[in-house]
Amino acid sequence: MSDARASPEAFLQMGREILAKQPFSGLLGAELTALSPGQVELQLPLRDELKQQHGFAHGGVVSYLADNALTYAGGTAMQVPVVTSEFKINYVRPALGQRLVARARAEATGKAQSVARCEVYAVTDGVEKLCALAQGTIVRLGEGG
């Protein structure tokens, strides 16, 4: 990810083009709703295919969204191609609702890595309920091994 001097609209558009190149994000239906250097909002409408046997969104869906949001936050903070090196997630409430919203931000960014945090909310009729908190490390592509 590059060019922090881009206009806000162009920056968001750049982020959407990256998302469009991720077939898995397309399969799940993720939408990039806000992006600026070091900050991101990703949303995911919840449909039955994304659920597990108890009726709420599968943990893997929530962790996908957190992982991707962390990567955007760290990548736009570092302005280089990145991958998520590691993260941890705490699920604090079943992800029940019409959509998920993940917001992440880079908290500490250096040359080689960025540490970011993310919250995931389940939204029902406009009411957001916190359902997961994540924290992870984003590194330059190729630095992981």
Instruction: Work out how close the CB of 55 gets to a second copy at its nearest, in angstroms, rounded to a whole number.
Output: 10
Instruction: Work out how close the CB of 79 gets to a second copy at its nearest, in angstroms, rounded to a whole number.
Output: 16
Instruction: Work out how close the CB of 34 gets to a second copy at its nearest, in angstroms, rounded to a whole number.
Output: 20
Q: Which residues of the shown chain bind a second copy in the complex (CB under 8 A)? A: 18, 21-28, 48-54, 57-61, 63-65, 67-68, 71, 83-94, 107-108, 110-113, 115, 117, 130, 133, 135, 137, 139, 141, 143-145
Instruction: Work out how close the CB of 126 gets to a second copy at its nearest, in angstroms, rounded to a whole number.
Output: 20
Instruction: Work out how close the CB of 12 gets to a second copy at its nearest, in angstroms, rounded to a whole number.
Output: 17
- Can you name the residues that pair with 115 across neighbouring β-strands? 108, 137
3-state secondary structure the chain: CCCCCCCHHHHHHHHHHHHHCCHHHHHHCCEEEEEECCEEEEEEECCHHHECCCCCECHHHHHHHHHHHHHHHHHHHHCCCEEEEEEEEEECCCCCCCEEEEEEEEEEECCCEEEEEEEEEEEECCEEEEEEEEEEEEEECCCCC
Looking at beta carbons only, is 3 or 93 nearer to a second copy? Answer: 93
Q: Which two tokens stand for residue 102?
A: 């993940």
Q: Which two tokens stand for residue 122?
A: 């389940």
Looking at beta carbons only, is 11 or 78 nearer to a second copy? Answer: 78
